Amino acid sequence: MSESAASTGNRFRIIGRFHVSGVLGHGAMGTVYRGEDPLIGRTVALKVLSTELQPLLGEAEMREFHSHFLREAKAAGRLNHPNIVTIYDVGEYCGMPYIAMEFVPGLSLREYLDSGVVLPVRRIVEIGILVARGLDYAHQNEVVHRDIKPANLMLGRKGVVKIMDFGIARAPGRSEDGKLQGSPRYMAPEQIADRPVGPATDVHALGVTLYEALTGKLPFDAPDFRELADKVLHQEPPRPSTLNPDVPEGLDAIVMQALAKEPSARFRNMRAMAKALSAVRAELKRGEEEPPAGEDIGAEFSDPGLDQLQLAGSGSRLREELRRHLTRLALTRELDGPEQDSFGAHLLLYLVPPGHILFREGEASSYLGLLLEGELAVTKRGVDGQEQQLELLGPGMPFGEMSLLDAAPRSATLTALGACQIAVLSRRHFRRLCRERPELSVKLLLALGGLLTQRLRRTSDRLAHHS
């Protein structure tokens, strides 16, 4: 979930012992804040039930809603797994319950799908494996999530995936008559029909989530609940590969089995689904002639503006795409093929969602960026304190050139205007490149000098025009 700055309009400044420092997001049940635990210096996410619900519900309904909200802490608080968000504390503030949970820097899968960023098939498979492992652990502890969907899956850097929001989780088999629990478009047939649910219900929801991530479309959708229910109960969706030809046959079969109408026809448990997905991942790896691009250097590099982002994948197709970019970029188009390959081997490729700030004016950074796809806005604070746009960067343009030489603060703020793809060369790996290929590094520095001169000339002309 992307973070927005705290505003003076925040209702809560202190919740329990936690100091509120920002708003992370809003949901149907309440608001999630970023908080700091002053006792141990830990950053947490604070989920607080909305006070706006009080006038809308009667006293009995409000008590039931409180109980429903706190069920998240009871269900998830006893779960300890690397792919499940940890619950730290639960309490009540101003008559409203709150839950303090693990803060996961990053974006939800929902935010990635809505941004237009297309995740690679292998990354989607890896997400499915980790979610299945986390849910298998929960099921072994007799907890069914019941609301698996992209909004409840957080994606962090270096492959981190966390399941959150066990707010409607209960022991398997229990039901509340007449009350749908979950998000209708991700519901299994047994949820729609108000029949008992169990681990197979989460299998179905993960199948829907993978289907949407792979194709950009939901397997079942309709303008009203009655029509949606009919589709979920009686219709078969198209196979994912008919909408995305990059989906291999084995992955097609896994998703369709997860979407089976009868629970007994789905995977017998999440462990079996994770095993099947792992086999597909192994097959995808075998299709790569060399190690995935960036996979060996990503662990050595960290930057505040990049740590929340997803790497753009790996494999021969991605490397071919990178080679095409390098032949067109002003920085690298004069290099020969082997030189471009040597340079490309030191790059990390990132997917950037709209509105993401790669770096802010005044922050230190340590990488050169190359914009491969999309647009980036370069802005700077004026004397009046307002942001002024200095430049609009398009595909092929570099940014952060001086960061290869020193750690001086950035002179402007850089924001993605739409879904973007960038290539990053860290200062550490530029120095490694200098040791390995000194003649190549000289060519790159000369090209960078020319591009930087052009950039400064354009900026100077623009400022003179506005003065």
Q: Active-site positions?
A: 147
- In whole angstroms, what is the distance from residue 184 CA to residue 170 CA? 18
The SS3 call for residue 369 is strand
HSE of 37 in the Cβ direction (CA atoms, 13 Å)?
15
Backbone angles phi, psi at 124, to 5 degrees: -65, -40
CA-CA distances (angstroms) from residue 292 to 41, 284, 289, 420? 37, 11, 9, 20
91 three-state secondary structure: strand
Q: Which residues pair with 98 in a beta bridge?
A: 48, 91
How many other C-beta atoms are found inside a 10 Å radius of the C-beta of residue 446? 11
C-alpha pair distances (Å), 19 with each of 11, 22, 52, 77: 12, 9, 22, 21
CB count, 10 Å around CB of 95? 10
Per-residue tokens: 292: 């995935």
**Radius of gyration for the alpha carbons in the chain, expressed in angstroms and rounded:** 24
**Residue matched to tokens 């595909």:** 395
The residues near 337 (Cβ < 8 Å, ≥ 6 apart) are 323
Q: Which of these, 366, 346, 352, 365, lies nearest to 296 by C-alpha position?
A: 346
- Helix H, strand E, coil C: the string for 314-337 is CCHHHHHHHHHHHHHCCCCCCCCH
Distances (CA, A) of 417 to 107, 115, 156: 17, 11, 21
Phi, psi (5° rounding) for residue 307?
A: -65, -25
Pairing of strands 42-49, 30-37: antiparallel
Q: How far apart are CA 179 and CA 4, in angstroms?
A: 34
In total, the chain counts a number of residues equal to 467
Alpha-carbon gap, residue 323 to 293, rounded angstroms: 12
